[in-house]
Chains A and B, each alone.
Chain A
Amino acid sequence: MAVIDLANPSRFLALVTRVLPWLAALTIALFAIGLVRAMQAPDDYQQGATVKIMFLHVPAAWLSMMGWGLMSIAALGTLVWRHPLADVAGKAAAPVGAAFTFICLITGSLWGRPTWGTYWVWDARLTSVLVLLLLYLGVLALYWTAEDPGRGSRAAAVLTLVGAVNIPIIKFSVDWWNTLHQPASILRMGGSAIDPSILWPLLIMAVAFTLLFFTLHLAAMRNEILRRRVRSMRIMQAQEARA
């Protein structure tokens, strides 16, 4: 099967049906390994055991931005090529991305209280991630409330592309402004600042969360394709009843 064949929703559905159980099994296996390694990881010399929150917070933060990046590519597909599968991909990614952004904010807040002495501060990193969550909710509102799904999809795609400006702001906020949030300690020039005994469990958890994201995204895309089939069949039924 050529890659271009996957642009056909029926062929895409057949592939998802085959791939999804394997992807789910691999996700569960990686989470099992990652969680065992995370629980065995040593405490941080400054933060103590609260460093264990990092194994949830950092992957969720990465995926909150990756989700928006994926939606931005899908938005281009919707607006430029008007491909229905691109719109399906964008719509299916929004709730998953919003959930990971929510996890990022809550776990960050629960990590901040014992580490910084506060649950929340309006610094550039925290505020820009909160803006990302609001953008996700805005896109979801456009998808879920538009009477005409086509217009809702185009409006959501425009908001997604406008909101993409926030992604570099989130990434570089800790460099551009003086923030309570620490600067990058993993993806940075000169290599990671984290000891391998903590870095490896973090990387395994990051891969597990990424697989979880794609498993949920593919499953949500399959549901959205089926939902559109239901809609078109109901329209056909109504037209036949009228005729």
Chain B
Amino acid sequence: MNLGPHADFIVAAYAVTVFVVAGLVAWVVLDYSAQRRILGDLEERGVTRRSQRKDD
């Protein structure tokens, strides 16, 4: 595949897009595991949400 005299611009556009999309994917994946970990810690310590309490 020949990208012609402006190959640098084409490669840069694809590289920036891949970088930004990878950043978004990493953000949602890492944020998910962080929230799950914090929730797990709180539940281990016996903290419950109001909706989970039987007497409410």
A positions within 8 Å CB-CB of B: 39, 43, 48-50, 52-53, 56-57, 60, 95-96, 99, 102-103, 106-107, 110-111, 113-114, 212, 216, 219-220, 222-223, 226-227, 229-230, 232-234, 236-237, 240
Contact = CB atoms under 8 A, between A and B. Distances in A.
A230 B50 contact: no
Secondary structure at chain B's binding surface: helix, strand, loop or mixed? helix
Contact of B35 (A60, A212, A223): A223
A102 B49 contact: no
17 contacts: A43-B4, A48-B4, A49-B2, A49-B6, A60-B17, A107-B17, A111-B13, A114-B5, A114-B6, A219-B32, A223-B28, A223-B31, A223-B35, A232-B49, A233-B42, A236-B50, A237-B42
Nearest to A48: B4
A234 B9 CA distance: 49
A227 B21 CA distance: 22
A110 B12 contact: yes
B6 A230 contact: no
Interface of B: 1-7, 9-10, 12-14, 16-17, 20-21, 23-25, 27-29, 31-32, 35-36, 38-39, 42, 45, 47-50
Nearest to A60: B17
Across chains A and B, which 4 residue pairs bring their CB atoms closest together, nearest first?
A: A226-B35, A114-B6, A219-B28, A49-B4
Given A52-B3, A99-B20, A227-B35, A233 B47 contact: yes
Nearest to B28: A219
A31 to B, nearest CB: 9
A15 to B, nearest CB: 16
